[in-house]
Amino acid sequence: MLALAAGTLLGGCRRATPEATPARSTLEKIRATGIITLGHRDNSIPFSYFDDQQHVVGYAQDIALAIVEEIKTELGRRNLSVKLVPVTSQTRIPLLLNDTIDLECETTTNNASRQRQVAFSINYFASGTQFLVRRDSGIQDIDDLRDKNVIVSAGTTAEIALRKLDHERGLGLRIIAARDHGDAFAALEFGKAVAFMSDGAILYGEISKARNPLDWHVVGTPLTTEIYACAMRKNDPTFKALVDATITRMIGNGDMRRLYQRWFQSPIPPRQVNLNVPLDAAMQTLFEHPNDRPLP
């Protein structure tokens, strides 16, 4: 259990500035309200989504709940309530900044740009951006998408990367921005685009939703590397230390590998589809050398 800094809990309130410690730390807020509020996705298999019982489940959700258990222990409040608030790529950071949620452990890339707005935990997932296409499409990589409709989830690093590549290479892509990953795949299935660009692990999750999963496959040389971490408010070192310690312990004791096997290499709800995503070199490196370094 982490020891809370007395100055964090007992210091007087100050007016917050962008670079100052918040007037009330996240742990103080949780202690005062008796509630820890988590941001979650409703359709991001296998990271965070609703199962057939309308429970939020997934790899990232299990990490968030492990952090909740550490918070309960740290505060001596086993009766803390957990409030779940749905977020999207566009709303996740604003909801952190306005105190609506306290923590978001989903598919949020830890990069230098976002670190100007929020703090990130130890990284817990690595993936590369690729394309989801029909097996009979003939599409193998980005050059095969010239002058075609490609869909992305709005507000993601994949959208930024695709627009940049389209401009640099003059591909003439017609880029469609969907509300979230589920909407993007639904549009792809209905033929509104020929490819969905996102992180490879997310794309494998979308295949599990398909009417016929064998109709789809993931292609393309990874265009960017994405590193996921939990996002939280900046300038709250005690809370970050607690979150980091939880994730580091889960990596060290094997819990994170077991979670990976549970959600990426075993049948998962609601349809008991096995995504069969191998543990690649990038994930092995994360597990062997835990760190919170952002991407450029």
- How far is 139 from 131, CA to CA, in rounded Å? 9
pLDDT for residue 37 is more than 60: yes
Q: In the structure encoding, which two tokens stand for residue 248, read together?
A: 């580091």
- Strand ranges across the sheet with 56-57: 43-44, 48-50, 56-57
Report if pTM > 0.85: no
Range from 11-20, 203-212, 222-231 carrying the lowest mean pLDDT:
11-20
- How far is 167 from 232, CA to CA, in rounded Å? 33
Q: Count the helix, strand and coil residues of the chain and give each as a percent rounded to the nearest 5.
A: 40, 20, 40
- How far is 42 from 223, CA to CA, in rounded Å? 26
SS (HEC) of 139-153 = CCCHHHHCCCEEEEE
Contact status, residue 234 vs residue 120, Cβ threshold 8 Å: no
Contact status, residue 105 vs residue 59, Cβ threshold 8 Å: no
Contact status, residue 270 vs residue 234, Cβ threshold 8 Å: no
Exposed, middle or buried, 197 (CB in 10 Å: 0-12/13-18/19+)? buried
Average pLDDT over residues 140-145: 97
**Which pLDDT score, from 0 to 100, does residue 20 have?**
46
**Which pLDDT score, from 0 to 100, does residue 280 have?**
87
**Which pLDDT score, from 0 to 100, does residue 22 have?**
54
Average pLDDT over residues 207-212: 91
Average pLDDT over residues 129-152: 97
pLDDT for residue 118 is more than 90: yes
pLDDT for residue 21 is more than 90: no
pLDDT tens for each residue of 48-98 = 999 999 999 999 999 999 999 999 999 999 999 999 999 998 999 999 999
pLDDT for residue 26 is more than 70: yes
Average pLDDT, the chain: 91
pLDDT for residue 147 is more than 90: yes
DSSP string, 140-194: -SGGGGTTSEEEEETTSHHHHHHHHHHHHHT---EEEEESSHHHHHHHHHTTS-S
- How far is 225 from 157, CA to CA, in rounded Å? 10
pLDDT tens for each residue of 55-67 = 999 999 999 999 9
pLDDT tens for each residue of 182-207 = 999 999 999 999 999 999 999 999 99
- How far is 203 from 151, CA to CA, in rounded Å? 12
